[in-house]
Structure formats: structure tokens, C-alpha cells
């Protein structure tokens, strides 16, 4: 097993996995950067480059000496230019040259290739990892200046002829056209290489922020995420090169990244490596936190240490009440036994006493625990415990019917609880390890099965519940420990465990990279601290006042945000009041509320901040009502809590953001946010037609009619490049022209180029989700969804508000097949969306 150079946990990612990571992180940014690039070509004053199909190969080479990784990319590029053709055309006196000749569009395509050498590091003292560029090399393989010149000359000639066709007296100067094309072609390769190189360099550095949860020295024996360091490491004997993310978990960990050699065995794509001392220390600490061992002091002699991987409590008298029986634990020991290199195990030894009227008992117990792999899950496998009880009975106790078997059962049940506590300590390590490895599913059940199967059946009934309780208690310690920050796991992938080696623990397996599909460039990741009655503009990443037009989120006390009017003028100014308005000596407490300002949206989600991706934010049901949360929903703490309130936000400028909110003890709002460069790329404008049918019921106030509706939805691309194709989905099912019926109340459907229509039968409501997936010429996709809940009936007021004489002269109103206006709120919404799309 590799030496971790003083680190406690190391995640190692081999070249293949790292290539996938870099592909995931760099490709979207590069593709975005390589669209619409201006190229200064001689003779073509307006020239734009679009690199299409720019693909980074899913592999990397790691140069440990230079501390950099290199990925290779390839793609095809289009250069579009407008050549001034005025000088290429000769006109007779009196004949005007058509204005269109001054800007003749021509284009050419060719391949580009790029080599991106990057470094990955964590700037000292920061909570971010940076992917930086060491060298960008761009070439245009296969570019033939001669062929392009010929092609451009032919295009130019054809375009000019098309413009001047039918206009007599104009002639093309073929030699000039050829010369112009040659001049352009001579510059293409160099200018494209320069432009692409410049744009690729421009995407660096790519920073990725991660959290370092504060370590509470007393909460878990000072064990926690103390430090993270990264390095690109060269391969060695039996080891592949890798990106190593090494963390210090122990209070005095001495990790030196400069001394770390690649721990990744040859041929393994990725691995997680745990130092034994860390594991043993964590187990011992978990044991101390188990309820069965409440009051357990620091290990005496102190441990574990590198040379003595044990925690021992040799001369203690810890009382533990189990099943209403008091037990005194006099000795406890957990050791890592490496004496058999092929059979590493933890050994556990316990000594305890208990007594009752006329009897006492001393019990010694020994058992071993191995870590095993069941499927892809790491589980503790518990050996059959060796239990050695000695019972002293007064003869008369036996005589009056105190049965030995009853005493033994009492001891055994209590012993099971103690054993279970130790197993739970190990189980929690495995749970944590597996969670880190990204395969948390069903771990609880599997651990339970492994433990129960390994214990004497006679103890099963008492053990099962005990183990669960102990595991739950232990779970508050080790299993809550983050050994690799979640954000870095999300960024660099997770290890799907497939091979486990014990001592030190290695979990090897494929790297699971979960790329956010088509994730556009992240514009900014930032933290803001918002005082009460201040507001946030996410697009600018700054604190603003409520009157600022860019205001996205408001952190305001209710009742003090009104502007204008006599009441507002009479009210005290919010900023001078620490808690609320003082009216006549009575102080009203106004708890602040987090609200989105129209037209921004705010939707709280159950996902974690890290786990929330753009695709999910896009799918949130943002309405026009803003949204928000009272302060009670926002956790308050002295330091960033583990579970802040997480929400997706649609900003006033049409970008999507994800935010994590918490309040400090001064009730300031802390906002961590990621803003994507994602103006909603496509919008959907609905129009409704309603046909009234039979009357359903009537009261003096209302008459209810069955209605049939037709909703026509038109997609409008905002930032997508034409041509755009659309796929319409109703509750996930593609909508076909002439299709239907579909579940959710759709009787029939129609689809056009950029629209679809849903029809309902009389009396049938519409209930479901309509989505449109738009794909542009670059393959960039955008999806917008709308939840539709539309009744199958309409309620019409019977209260006459028009002049009575008119109503008296009108014939009775028959159900009309003509269009009926929608309710006011639906009209407003439709109108607002139309206006927003102008």
C-alpha cells in the first residue's frame, strides 16, 4: 500500500478519468468561447469564425514532472466573411454599381486541432481549485491555401455575378477576384490559429469553489476536513500517473504534497486511499460517541499511533445500563491487526462485570472484524465473538430458582449491545467510505445483513435493534465526516468501488463522472452577505437597494418595504430600526423575508447546492409571482450549516442561478450562488381558445359550463442559432401531428414547425407538463417546460353589471361555439409573456 505522505485520505484519478473530467469541464466553455469569433482577414473587413463540433478527446496525458495534464481537441470551423467587391467590378460610365457588391458574403470550412496543457491546483489559502492553462497549441490540419483560394475565388465570382446579373455594362475582373481570394486565403490559417488560441486561453483560469466545513475540535475528536491539496503526480514503479486530491483529517496530520507519490496502481482508473491511523482513530472516536460507552475517557495509554494501531482503555470503570441491568466496563480495546499480511482485521477485546442478588459475573469477549466487499458495497464482516463469562452463584440463589440460563441471557443481551456499538463504529466508517465512493444506496440494509449474519443467532433478536440504534448514534459522527469535499467530488467525479484492499484501505474502481449535459459556462460563483433590508442583484453579484432595476432577491422585513404613500412617509425609516418599527413606544418585530422580485423567480428545492445542476434549475416551475421564503425556513448558525436553504433563481436578466442561503447570528443573509450564462434560450408563448358547451349547474350567482379548449404554444428562440428544431413533449411523451388522445386530458394534438396545439374535450380538464426541446445548428439544446392545470369547466357570473335595459332586450344567451375570453389572470400571464419576448 502506498504511503500517503502524512495525508489521511487521497482520491487519485488516472489519465483516462482525468481526461473525462477535463472534457466535461473544458468542452462547454471552449465551445461557447469559439462561437462568433471576429477574425481580422485582409480584404475581408467583417469576418467571423464559428468552430463547430469542437470535441475534447476523453483522455489525457499527465506529465508529473511539469505538473500538467494535456488534452487533445479537434473540430471543424466555418469562417464567414464579407468581402468588399466594389473594386472587383468595372462599370461603364453612367452605370451604378449595386450597393450589395460592397459586402459580398463568402465562407469556407476547414478542420482545427488544439492541444491544451493545463495545470490543476489549489491556490494556497483559498477554497477553490483552479484549472489553469499552461500551453495552448492550435493547428489547422489539412488546410490547403491553394484549394481554399480557388474555392473562395469561385464563391466570390458566383456571388458577384448573382448580384449584378441582369445589369448590363458590369464586368468581373477575374484576375482581381483571384488576387483577392488569394490574399484572404494567405491569412486564414494564421488568423484562425491566433483567434482560436486567444479564445481558448481566455477561458482560463477556471475556478471551482468548494466548502471547507469548520472542524469542531470537541465534536469528533478534532477529526474533520482540515486541509485539501492537489497535485498532478508522475507514475512510478507499479503506479500510474494521476491527479491526487489529498486531504488532512486528523488534527496533527503532516501531509506534504511534495512528498506524495502516485498511489494509483497501474491499470486502475481511480482510487480512494485511507490511512490506517486515520481509520483506527475514527473508529475509536466513534466508539467513544456510542451511547453504550458514554463516559469513555481518552484512550489510556494514548492511541492509536502509527506503531501501535490500537485504542486501549485498560483501567476504567464505565457504567452502562442495558436492559435495566448495570454493567461495568473495565477494559476495552480495538486494534488493527496486521500480523497476517494476507488477512488484515480489526480485533476487539472487552472486559466487564455485572451482578445481582446472590450472583456476580465477569465477562470477557473477543472478536474480529474484517472489511469486505459485497457487490460494490464495503461492509464490515463480523467474526463469531468468543465470549467467556464467569458467574459466581450463591448456592441459595440456585435453590430458589434463579436459573443460570436466565443470567447468561441477561449478560448476552447486554454484551450484544456493546459488541453492536463497536460494530456500528466500524459500520459507520464503511458507510462513510461508501458514501464517499458514491454508492450509498441500500448501504444501511447491507450493513445490517452482514452484521446479523455474523452474530450468534441466539443474540439476533436483541442485536438487530441495538445495531440499528447504535449505527444511528454512530452515524452522527463518522458518517457525517466529509473526506473529500462534495464539490470536488462533483467536479472530479466519484469512485465507483469495485475492488477493496484492506490496510491501508484502497477502494479502486471506475471513476464516475457525472457531467452536467451541455452545461453552459458558469459566469460566476460568489458569496454575498446581505444585511437586513438590503437586496441582491445576482447578475452583477452585488448588494443593491430595492429600487435598483437589477434587484433579484430581497431580504426585507415585512411591512417596511412599502414605498410612496402617506403611510410609508409617516413610517420610520427601516434602516434606522434595529428590529422593527417603534410605534408609540411599542416595538413591532418584523422578521425578514427572502423574496424574489418580479420578474425573477425563486423556487426552493430539496436538492443539495452541489447536487443542483442547470438542467434541474431550468425545469423548476418559475412563475410570475416571484416566490420566496420566511426566515424560519432559512437555517441560522454561527458558521455555514450543512443544510442551507437551496433554491433555483431566475434572474431579472433571464439567467439561471442556484443559491444556498443561511443566516448568521446577526440575521444577515449569507448567499452562495452560481450564475450560469444561460439566458432562457427559448420561450413559449401560449394562446388559448375556449368553446362553451352544455350548462352543468347554475345558482343565482354562477352558471357553470362544460368547455372545450385549444392551447396553442409557440416556441421563440432567444439565443439559439438558426435553424432550430423543436421536439414537443406532453408529460414526457413526444407530441405528434394529428396525435392523441394522451393521458392528462389531451384529446388530440397538432404540431407545426415551431408550435404545437393541445385540444381538450368538453368538460375535460388539462393537467400535465408541456415541454419543448429546442436544438440549434450547433447542437446546443434548450428545454423549457410549463405546468398546465386548466379546468374542464368555466364559471360565469349571473350578476348583471351592464345596464338593465340592455340585458332586457337581449335574447337569452345560448351556449356559443365562438371563442370565450380566458380568466383575467391567464390573459395577463399570456400578455406578459408576449411582452417579455419582444
Partner 1 sequence: MSVSVTIVGGAPPPDLAAQAPGISLEELAKLEGPLLDHLRGTPGEAARFLDDPASVLRKVAPQAGGLLTAIEARQAAARASVPDGGGVELTGLQVDVQKGKPPKPTRET
Q: Which residues bind partner 1 (CB under 8 A)?
A: 325-326, 355-360, 387-410, 412, 456, 458-459, 461
Given the complex with partner 1, which of 217 and 321 has the nearer CB atom?
Answer: 321
- Smallest gap from Cβ 354 to partner 1, in A, equals 8
Compute the distance between CA of residue 45 and CA of residue 28 in angstroms, rounded to an integer.
29
- Smallest gap from Cβ 243 to partner 1, in A, equals 52
Compute the distance between CA of residue 475 and CA of residue 227 in angstroms, rounded to an integer.
23
Given the complex with partner 1, which of 403 and 562 has the nearer CB atom?
Answer: 403
**Neighbour-count burial of 405, counting CB atoms closer than 10 A to its CB (0-12 exposed, 13-18 middle, 19+ buried):** exposed
Given the complex with partner 1, which of 326 and 695 has the nearer CB atom?
Answer: 326
Query: What is the DSSP annotation of 217-259?
Result: TTTTTT-S--EEEEEEE--BTTB--EEEEEEE-STT----GGG
- Smallest gap from Cβ 314 to partner 1, in A, equals 23
Radius of gyration of the chain, Cα coordinates, nearest whole angstrom: 36
The three-class DSSP label of residue 95 is coil
- Smallest gap from Cβ 254 to partner 1, in A, equals 45
H/E stretch holding 353: strand 345-356
Angle between helices 443-454 and 404-436 (to 10 degrees): 150
Given the complex with partner 1, which of 359 and 624 has the nearer CB atom?
Answer: 359
- Smallest gap from Cβ 399 to partner 1, in A, equals 5
Compute the distance between CA of residue 603 and CA of residue 200 in angstroms, rounded to an integer.
35
- Smallest gap from Cβ 406 to partner 1, in A, equals 5
H/E stretch holding 428: helix 404-436
Find all residues with CB under 8 Å of 825, minimum gap 6, and list them.
none
- Smallest gap from Cβ 394 to partner 1, in A, equals 3
- Smallest gap from Cβ 382 to partner 1, in A, equals 16
Compute the distance between CA of residue 373 and CA of residue 430 in angstroms, rounded to an integer.
10
- Smallest gap from Cβ 322 to partner 1, in A, equals 12
Closest CA to 553 of 416, 478, 650: 650
By the 8 A CB rule, do 682 and 716 touch? yes
- Smallest gap from Cβ 461 to partner 1, in A, equals 7
C-alpha cell at 193: 490559429
Given the complex with partner 1, which of 406 and 583 has the nearer CB atom?
Answer: 406
Given the complex with partner 1, which of 22 and 419 has the nearer CB atom?
Answer: 419
Given the complex with partner 1, which of 403 and 568 has the nearer CB atom?
Answer: 403
Q: Is residue 798 left, alpha or beta, with left meaning phi > 0 and alpha meaning psi from -120 to 50?
A: alpha
Given the complex with partner 1, which of 349 and 376 has the nearer CB atom?
Answer: 349
Find all residues with CB under 8 Å of 112, minimum gap 6, and list them.
51, 54, 74, 75, 76, 77, 138, 139, 140, 141, 192, 193, 196
Q: Which residue's C-alpha cell is 437551496?
A: 646
Given the complex with partner 1, which of 336 and 365 has the nearer CB atom?
Answer: 365
- Smallest gap from Cβ 390 to partner 1, in A, equals 5
Given the complex with partner 1, which of 186 and 408 has the nearer CB atom?
Answer: 408
Compute the distance between CA of residue 76 and CA of residue 167 in angstroms, rounded to an integer.
38
C-alpha cell at 691: 368553446
- Smallest gap from Cβ 315 to partner 1, in A, equals 20
Given the complex with partner 1, which of 408 and 512 has the nearer CB atom?
Answer: 408
Given the complex with partner 1, which of 91 and 402 has the nearer CB atom?
Answer: 402
Find all residues with CB under 8 Å of 749, minimum gap 6, and list them.
730, 735, 736, 737, 738, 739, 740, 742, 756, 757, 758, 759
How far is residue 603 from each of residues 403, 523, 591, 607, 654, measured CA to CA in Å? 65, 21, 20, 11, 15
How far is residue 608 from each of residues 37, 208, 440, 642, measured CA to CA in Å? 37, 17, 15, 9
Quote the distance between the C-alpha of residue 746 and its chain's center: 34
Given the complex with partner 1, which of 159 and 330 has the nearer CB atom?
Answer: 330
Query: What is the DSSP annotation of 109-142?
Result: EEEEEEEEEEEEE--TT-SEEEEEEEEEEEE-TT
- Smallest gap from Cβ 320 to partner 1, in A, equals 13
Amino acid at each position: 500500500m502506498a504511503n500517503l505522505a502524512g495525508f489521511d485520505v487521497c482520491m487519485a484519478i488516472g489519465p483516462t478519468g482525468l481526461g473525462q473530467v477535463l472534457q466535461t469541464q473544458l468542452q462547454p466553455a471552449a465551445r461557447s468561447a469559439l462561437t462568433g469569433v471576429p477574425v481580422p482577414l485582409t480584404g475581408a473587413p467583417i469576418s467571423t469564425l464559428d468552430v463547430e463540433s469542437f470535441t475534447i478527446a476523453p483522455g489525457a496525458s499527465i506529465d508529473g514532472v511539469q505538473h500538467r495534464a494535456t488534452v487533445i481537441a479537434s473540430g471543424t470551423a466555418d469562417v464567414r466573411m464579407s468581402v468588399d467587391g466594389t473594386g472587383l467590378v468595372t462599370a461603364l460610365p453612367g452605370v451604378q454599381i449595386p450597393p450589395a457588391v460592397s459586402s459580398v458574403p463568402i465562407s469556407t470550412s476547414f478542420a482545427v486541432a488544439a492541444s491544451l496543457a493545463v495545470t490543476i491546483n489549489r491556490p494556497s489559502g483559498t477554497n477553490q481549485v483552479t484549472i489553469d492553462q499552461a500551453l495552448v497549441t492550435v493547428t489547422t490540419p489539412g488546410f490547403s491555401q491553394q484549394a481554399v483560394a480557388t474555392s473562395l475565388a469561385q464563391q466570390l465570382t458566383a456571388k458577384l455575378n448573382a448580384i449584378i446579373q441582369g445589369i448590363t455594362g458590369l464586368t468581373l475582373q477575374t484576375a482581381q477576384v483571384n488576387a483577392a481570394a488569394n490574399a484572404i486565403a494567405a491569412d486564414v490559417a494564421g488568423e484562425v490559429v491566433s483567434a482560436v488560441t486567444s479564445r481558448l486561453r481566455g477561458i482560463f483560469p477556471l475556478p471551482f469553489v468548494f466548502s471547507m466545513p469548520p472542524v469542531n475540535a470537541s465534536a469528533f475528536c478534532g477529526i474533520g476536513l482540515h486541509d485539501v491539496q492537489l497535485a498532478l503526480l508522475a507514475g512510478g514503479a507499479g503506479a500510474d500517473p494521476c491527479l491526487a486530491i489529498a486531504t488532512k483529517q486528523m488534527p496533527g496530520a503532516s501531509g506534504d504534497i511534495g512528498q506524495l507519490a502516485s498511489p494509483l496502481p497501474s491499470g486502475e482508473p481511480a482510487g480512494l486511499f485511507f490511512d490506517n491511523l486515520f481509520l483506527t482513530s475514527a473508529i475509536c472516536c466513534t466508539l467513544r460517541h456510542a451511547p453504550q460507552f458514554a463516559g469513555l475517557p481518552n484512550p489510556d495509554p494514548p492511541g492509536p499511533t502509527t506503531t501501535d494501531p490500537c485504542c486501549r482503555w485498560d483501567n476504567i470503570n464505565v457504567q452502562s445500563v442495558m436492559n435495566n441491568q448495570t454493567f461495568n466496563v473495565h477494559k476495552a480495546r480495538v486494534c488493527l491487526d496486521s500480523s497476517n499480511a494476507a488477512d488484515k482485521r480489526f480485533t476487539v477485546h472487552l472486559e466487564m462485570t455485572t451482578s445481582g442478588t446472590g450472583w456476580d459475573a465477569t465477562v470477557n469477549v473477543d472478536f474480529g472484524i474484517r472489511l469486505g466487499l459485497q457487490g460494490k458495497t464495503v461492509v464490515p464482516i463480523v467474526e463469531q465473538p468468543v465470549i467467556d463469562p464467569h458467574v459466581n452463584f450463591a448456592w441459595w440463589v440456585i435453590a430458589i430458582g434463579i436459573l443460570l440460563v436466565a443470567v447468561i441471557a441477561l449478560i448476552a443481551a447486554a454484551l450484544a449491545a456493546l459488541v453492536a456499538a463497536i460494530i456500528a463504529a466500524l459500520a459507520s466508517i464503511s458507510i462513510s467510505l461508501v458514501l464517499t465512493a458514491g454508492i450509498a444506496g441500500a448501504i444501511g440494509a447491507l450493513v445490517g445483513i452482514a452484521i446479523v449474519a455474523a452474530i450468534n443467532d441466539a443474540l439476533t433478536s436483541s442485536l438487530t435493534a441495538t445495531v440499528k440504534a447504535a449505527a444511528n448514534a454512530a452515524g452522527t459522527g463518522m458518517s457525517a465526516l466529509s473526506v473529500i469535499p462534495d464539490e470536488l467530488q462533483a467536479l472530479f467525479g466519484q469512485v465507483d468501488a469495485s475492488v477493496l484492499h484492506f490496510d491501508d484501505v484502497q477502494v479502486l474502481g471506475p471513476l464516475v463522472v457525472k457531467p452536467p449535459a451541455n452545461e453552459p459556462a458558469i459566469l460566476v460563483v460568489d458569496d454575498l452577505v446581505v444585511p437586513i433590508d438590503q437586496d441582491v442583484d445576482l447578475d452583477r453579484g452585488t448588494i443593491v437597494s430595492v429600487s435598483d432595476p437589477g434587484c433579484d432577491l430581497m431580504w426585507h422585513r415585512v411591512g417596511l418595504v412599502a414605498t410612496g404613500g402617506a403611510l410609508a412617509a409617516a413610517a420610520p425609516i427601516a434602516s434606522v430600526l434595529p428590529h422593527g418599527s417603534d410605534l408609540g413606544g411599542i416595538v413591532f418585530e418584523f422578521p425578514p423575508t427572502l423574496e424574489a422580485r418580479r420578474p425573477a423567480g425563486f423556487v426552493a428545492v430539496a436538492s443539495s447546492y452541489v447536487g443542483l445542476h442547470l438542467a434541474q434549475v431550468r425545469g423548476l416551475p418559475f412563475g410570475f409571482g416571484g416566490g420566496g421564503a420566511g426566515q424560519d425556513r432559512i437555517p441560522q448558525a454561527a458558521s455555514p450549516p450543512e443544510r442551507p436553504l437551496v433554491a433555483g433563481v431566475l434572474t431579472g436578466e433571464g439567467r439561471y442561478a442556484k443559491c444556498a442561503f443561511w443566516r448568521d447570528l446577526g440575521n444577515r443573509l449569507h448567499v452562495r450562488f452560481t450564475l450560469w450564462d444561460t439566458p432562457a434560450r427559448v420561450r413559449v408563448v401560449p394562446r388559448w381558445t375556449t368553446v362553451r358547451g352544455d350548462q352543468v349547474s347554475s345558482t343565482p350567482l354562477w352558471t357553470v359550463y362544460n368547455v372545450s379548449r385549444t392551447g396553442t404554444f409557440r416556441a421563440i428562440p432567444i439565443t439559439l442559432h438558426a435553424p432550430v428544431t423543436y421536439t414537443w413533449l406532453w408529460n414526457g411523451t413526444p407530441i405528434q401531428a394529428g396525435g392523441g388522445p394522451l393521458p392528462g386530458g389531451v384529446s388530440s394534438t397538432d404540431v407545426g414547425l415551431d408550435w404545437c396545439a393541445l385540444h381538450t374535450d368538453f368538460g375535460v380538464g388539462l393537467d400535465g407538463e408541456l415541454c419543448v426541446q429546442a436544438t440549434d445548428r450547433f447542437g446546443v439544446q434548450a428545454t423549457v417546460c410549463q405546468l398546465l392545470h386548466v379546468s374542464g369547466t368555466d364559471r360565469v357570473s349571473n350578476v348583471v353589471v351592464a345596464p338593465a335595459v340592455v340585458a332586457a332586450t337581449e335574447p337569452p344567451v345560448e351556449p356559443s361555439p365562438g371563442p370565450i375570453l380566458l380568466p383575467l389572470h391567464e390573459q395577463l400571464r399570456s400578455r406578459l409573456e408576449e411582452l417579455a419576448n419582444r
